[in-house]
Amino acid sequence: MITHEHIKATFASLVAIDSPSLSEREMADHIKALFAGIGIALLEDKSGTVTGSTAGNLYAYIEGDQTLEPVLLAAHMDTVAPACKKQAVFHDGDRVTSDGTTVLGADDLAGVTAIYEALRKIREQGSSHRPVELLFTTGEELYCKGANAFDFSNIRSRSAYVLDLSGEIGSAAYAAPTLLSFEARIQGRASHAGFRPEAGINAILAAAKAIAQLPQGHIDEETTGNIGVIHGGAGTNIVSEACTVKGEIRSLKHERALALLQQYKSTFEKEAYALGASLVWTDTVNIIAYETPADSDTTTAYRRAVVQEGLTPSLYRTFGGSDNNVFAQHGIEGLVIATSMNNVHTCQEYCSIPEIAQVSRILLRLLNCQ
């Protein structure tokens, strides 16, 4: 059975392992041992040679009723900093926090726990179920490094549920944005700011002129832009020779993100060249937007499972990315489902043992076991 005491033990054992992004070796070994204990062999790929992680992604295919379509369940193994020396602290009502000096790691160890508990029950009861594929990735917090390095050629599922979302249990994200990051390095010319300012080319001035023209924040309902870092200058008496500006753009429409990126680049070019400065521009497409149709089989099955659990389904668009962005690029139709993680990426992160149990039961229903 799925019991709160068993969930507590599983979750606490995972939390106690240090697993910052790209240092997932111990976590991968622990997860492999957990699943081996219920007769499921997780295979580790060689993606660490590409990502720089100490471990690879973990994958398994579990045979099931061949008349049913296979389904992919996924979670990530890494946690954001501060991620070392974590401990699960249990409170009344089965609320779980860290000791306040680290993150808890419910993002995404609550997801790993829910998947394990669902599969453990299936194994114990010998229940008939859909064929299941499992994928536990590395480096998800670093723009899905592990998923991007995974070989999808052997994936049989066309439907996926990614356990990696905050919010009430029963909610899910059906759309997520393209996320672009950029860096503008403006090269001017240094000069004494008191004696010969006219001989200099002020890189900070060029950057400021560009930034003042650029839209930021919510640009429209589907798009955001942000200048997050600016650094330049060597002293108050020196015309600034160099200035670096970094930022990001997110949009639920990929082409809109690319168009805004071009606007940003063109504005920096114009203002740098107007002062006689040069510009070195770099940008990266970190993840690409997707949208899973509201009437898709994946969405319909999730709504039904949530209702069967006695909860109200809620689907929405998110401005955060996940491994599901990568899955969508490989033709896999997925949802990112709420998994009992709250105040993520902070030392005030918390989760709920009863909620993790609910998620496990929803998974069982998605696997046609209840």
Beta strand 333-338 pairing with 171-176:
antiparallel
Contact 344, 109 (CB under 8 A): no
- In 3-state terms, what secondary structure has residue 185? strand
Contact 227, 215 (CB under 8 A): no
Distance of CA 214 to the CA centre of its chain: 27
The b-or-e profile of 243-255 (16+ CB within 10 A means b, else e) is: bbbbbbbbbbbbe
CA distance 158 to 155: 8
- For residue 92, give every residue at least 6 positions away whose Cβ sits within 8 Å of its Cβ, in sequence order, or none: none
- In 3-state terms, what secondary structure has residue 264? helix
Residue 16 CB-density burial (10 A; 0-12 exposed, 13-18 middle, 19+ buried): middle
Beta strand 71-76 pairing with 132-137:
parallel
Give the active site residue among 140, 141, 241, 309.
140
**What H or E segment, with its residue span, contains residue 338?**
strand 333-338
Residue 309 is a catalytic residue = no
Residue 117 is a catalytic residue = no
* The token pair that represents 260 in the structure block: 């805004």
**What H or E segment, with its residue span, contains residue 217?**
strand 217-220
- For residue 300, give every residue at least 6 positions away whose Cβ sits within 8 Å of its Cβ, in sequence order, or none: none
Strand partners for 250:
179, 224
Give the active site residue among 24, 45, 78, 108.
78
Q: Give catalytic residues, as residue numbers.
A: 78, 140
